[in-house]
C-alpha cells in the first residue's frame, strides 16, 4: 500500500462506542453530533478571545434544532439569514436581542418576524433593501453590511468581487436617506469569507481591515457606531496537513481591535468553527465496485447529503472514514462511492481502508458544518437521513430517518384529462 495514503483518524474510544451505538440503533445514513465537542469549541473561544467580543452562531452552517439548542444554552447569540433560521433560533431559545438577521434581501416572512421581534438587529445589504425595510415601518435597529474593499484570504471568498453589501458609492446614497428612512443605524457588518486557517491572514484581512472599513464608513455617515460585526471565517483543519487556527494569536489581535473600536462592541459570526469537528456522517457499505483502477465500496449515502465536500476539495484532502468495529489490518487504497447515478458521487477518492464487507459502517469525521443543511438532499427522491446527538454515552435522536415514501409528503396529483369534469 502507498505510504502517502491518509489513515483514518482515531477518535477516543467513548466517541467510537457512541457512533457504533448510533448506527446500530438508528441505522444509516445518519449524521451524529458530539455535543461535548461543540461545548469544547465554545469554551476554547471563550478562553482565547477577549470577553468583550460577542459571539454569534451562524445557523447556515447547521440549523438542526438540537444543535441550536446546545449553542443557545452556551449563551451565545445567533446569526440568521432566512425566516426558517429565524424561527429555529427563537425556538432554540436564543434571546431575541441576541439575534442578528442578515442575508441579501429580507423576504416577507422574515419581515413579519422582524415586526414581532423588534429587539433583533438587522443587517441591510443594499440601498434598495433600505428603502424596502423603511417602507415596512420596522422598528429594529440596523447595521449596514459593507462590501469588503480588500482581498480575502478565505477558501470560500466574499471579498471585493462579491455581490454582498454596500460599496462606497452605495453607502453615500444610503447616507443621504438616513434621516428620512426612520431606521436607527447602530453600526456595520463585514464578512470577507469562510475557512481561513492562517491566523495572520485572518487578523490582517478579515478582522483588522473589516474594522478599518467600518470606521471609515462611520466617518462618512457621521455616526458613532455601538455595534461592529467583523464576520470571522475561522477555519477547520480538514486535511492531515492542515494546521489548526492559532486562536491565541487571533485573541491577541482582537484585544487590540476591542480597544480601537471602543465604545463600539465587536461581534463575530462563526458557523464552521463551532460545529464542523463535532459531526460524523455514518454510512453502511452496500457492495463493491472499482473506481479509477482501484478498489471501491458503494455506500448508502452520497454527496447529496454532503455539500461540504464540494467547494473545499475535501473529497481528496479529508481523512478517510473510520471503519467502525472493523479490524484495521491489511489496509489498501479504497475509494468510497455514494449510491446516486451521478459520476461525481464520490465521498472519498482514495484512503487507506481495511477489507470491507456489506453492512460495515464507516464514519466520516469533520462533517458537522455545511453537510446536510447545504445539500441538494432531494436528488434521486432521497429521504432525509437521521440526525442524532450524543453527549458521552447518552444518545438523543434529533431527526428520525425518513422512509422512502416521505418524498411524497405534501405533493399533490395533477388530475388527468378523463378525471376533469366536463364543463
Compute the least distance from the CB of residue 164 to ligand PLP, in Å: 7
Piece of 6-14, 247-255, 268-276, 304-312 that binds ligand PLP (CB under 6 A):
268-276
Q: In the structure grid, which three cell numbers stand for residue 175, read together?
A: 447616507
Among 272, 304, 315, 319, binds ligand PLP (CB under 6 A): 272
Q: Where are the beta strands (DSSP E) in 182-326?
A: 185-189, 193-194, 227-229, 265-270, 279-291, 294-299, 322-324
Measured over all CA atoms, what is the biggest interatomic distance in the chain, rounded to whole angstroms?
77
- Using CB under 6 A as the binding rule, whether residue 270 contacts ligand PLP is answered as yes
Q: In the structure grid, which three cell numbers stand for residue 132, read together?
A: 424596502
Please say which residue, 155 or 178, places its beta carbon nearer to ligand PLP. 155
Whose CA is closest to 371, among 318, 414, 333, 322? 318
Please say which residue, 165 or 320, places its beta carbon nearer to ligand PLP. 165
- Please give the residues from 298 up to 357 whose contact with ligand PLP meets the rule CB under 6 A: none
Please say which residue, 156 or 407, places its beta carbon nearer to ligand PLP. 156
Q: Where are the beta strands (DSSP E) in 206-278?
A: 227-229, 265-270
234, 56 Cβ separation under 8 angstroms: no
Please say which residue, 147 or 320, places its beta carbon nearer to ligand PLP. 147
Piece of 173-181, 226-234, 340-348, 382-390 that binds ligand PLP (CB under 6 A):
226-234
- Crossing angle for the helix pair 35-48 and 247-261, to the nearest 10 degrees: 50
Among 33, 100, 188, 191, binds ligand PLP (CB under 6 A): 191
Please say which residue, 187 or 232, places its beta carbon nearer to ligand PLP. 232
Piece of 82-90, 188-196, 251-259, 302-310 that binds ligand PLP (CB under 6 A):
188-196
Q: In the structure grid, which three cell numbers stand for residue 206, read together?
A: 478579515
Please say which residue, 72 or 158, places its beta carbon nearer to ligand PLP. 158
Please say which residue, 122 or 337, places its beta carbon nearer to ligand PLP. 122
- Crossing angle for the helix pair 83-92 and 108-116, to the nearest 10 degrees: 30
| Alpha carbons 374 and 242: distance in angstroms, whole number | 23
> Binding string to ligand PLP for residues 354 to 373, with x set by CB under 6 A, is what?
---------------x----
Whose CA is closest to 318, among 273, 270, 359, 277? 277
- Using CB under 6 A as the binding rule, whether residue 271 contacts ligand PLP is answered as yes
Please say which residue, 80 or 339, places its beta carbon nearer to ligand PLP. 80
Whose CA is closest to 62, among 40, 80, 43? 80
- Using CB under 6 A as the binding rule, whether residue 273 contacts ligand PLP is answered as yes
- Using CB under 6 A as the binding rule, whether residue 61 contacts ligand PLP is answered as yes
Compute the least distance from the CB of residue 181 to ligand PLP, in Å: 23
Among 58, 82, 305, 365, binds ligand PLP (CB under 6 A): 58
* Cβ contacts of 390 within 8 Å, gap of 6 or more: 18, 19, 21, 22, 32, 33, 34, 35, 396
* Cα 168-171-177 angle, rounded to 5 deg: 155
265, 20 Cβ separation under 8 angstroms: no
Among 45, 63, 102, 218, binds ligand PLP (CB under 6 A): 102
What is the Rg, in whole angstroms, of the alpha carbon atoms belonging to the chain? Answer: 23
Binding residues for ligand PLP, rule: CB under 6 A, are 58, 60-61, 79, 102, 158, 191, 194-195, 231-234, 269-273, 369
Amino acid at each position: 500500500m502507498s505510504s502517502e495514503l491518509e489513515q483514518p483518524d482515531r477518535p477516543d474510544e467513548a466517541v467510537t462506542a457512541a457512533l457504533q451505538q448510533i448506527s446500530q440503533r438508528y441505522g444509516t445514513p445518519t449524521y451524529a453530533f458530539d455535543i461535548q465537542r461543540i461545548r469544547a469549541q465554545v469554551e476554547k473561544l471563550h478562553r482565547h478571545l477577549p470577553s468583550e467580543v460577542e459571539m454569534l452562531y451562524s445557523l447556515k452552517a447547521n440549523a438542526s434544532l438540537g444543535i441550536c439548542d446546545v449553542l443557545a444554552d452556551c449563551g451565545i447569540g445567533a446569526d440568521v439569514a432566512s425566516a426558517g433560521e429565524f424561527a429555529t433560533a427563537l425556538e432554540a431559545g436564543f434571546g431575541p436581542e441576541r439575534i442578528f438577521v442578515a442575508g441579501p434581501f429580507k423576504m416577507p416572512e422574515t419581515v413579519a418576524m422582524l415586526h414581532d421581534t423588534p429587539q433583533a438587529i438587522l443587517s441591510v445589504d443594499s440601498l434598495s433593501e433600505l428603502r424596502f425595510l423603511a417602507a415596512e415601518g420596522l422598528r429594529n435597529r440596523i447595521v449596514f453590511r459593507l462590501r469588503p474593499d480588500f482581498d480575502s484570504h478565505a477558501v470560500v471568498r466574499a471579498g471585493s468581487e462579491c455581490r454582498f453589501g454596500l460599496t462606497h458609492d452605495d453607502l453615500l446614497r444610503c447616507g443621504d436617506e438616513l434621516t428620512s428612512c426612520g431606521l436607527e443605524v447602530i453600526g456595520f457588518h463585514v464578512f470577507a469569507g469562510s475557512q481561513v486557517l492562517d491566523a495572520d491572514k485572518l487578523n490582517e484581512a478579515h478582522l483588522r481591515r473589516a474594522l478599518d472599513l467600518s470606521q471609515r464608513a462611520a466617518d462618512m455617515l457621521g455616526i458613532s457606531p455601538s455595534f461592529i460585526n467583523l464576520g470571522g471565517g475561522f477555519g477547520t483543519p480538514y486535511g492531515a496537513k492542515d494546521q489548526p487556527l492559532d486562536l491565541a494569536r487571533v485573541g491577541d489581535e482582537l484585544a487590540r481591535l476591542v480597544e480601537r473600536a471602543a465604545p463600539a462592541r465587536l461581534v463575530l459570526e462563526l458557523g464552521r468553527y463551532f460545529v464542523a469537528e463535532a459531526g460524523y456522517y455514518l454510512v453502511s457499505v452496500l457492495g463493491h465496485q472499482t473506481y479509477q483502477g482501484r478498489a471501491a465500496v458503494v455506500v448508502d449515502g452520497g454527496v447529496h447529503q454532503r455539500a461540504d465536500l464540494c467547494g473545499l476539495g475535501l473529497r481528496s484532502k479529508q481523512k478517510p472514514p473510520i471503519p467502525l468495529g472493523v479490524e484495521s489490518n491489511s489496509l489498501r487504497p479504497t475509494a468510497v462511492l455514494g449510491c446516486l447515478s451521478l459520476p461525481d458521487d464520490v465521498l472519498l477518492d482514495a484512503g487507506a481502508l481495511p477489507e470491507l464487507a456489506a453492512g460495515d459502517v464507516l464514519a466520516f469525521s469533520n462533517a458537522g458544518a455545511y453537510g446536510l443543511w447545504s445539500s441538494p438532499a432531494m436528488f434521486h427522491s432521497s429521504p432525509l437521513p437521521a440526525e442524532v446527538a450524543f453527549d458521552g454515552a447518552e444518545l438523543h435522536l434529533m431527526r428520525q430517518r425518513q422512509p422512502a415514501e416521505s418524498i411524497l409528503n405534501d405533493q399533490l396529483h395533477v388530475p388527468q384529462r378523463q378525471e376533469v369534469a366536463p364543463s
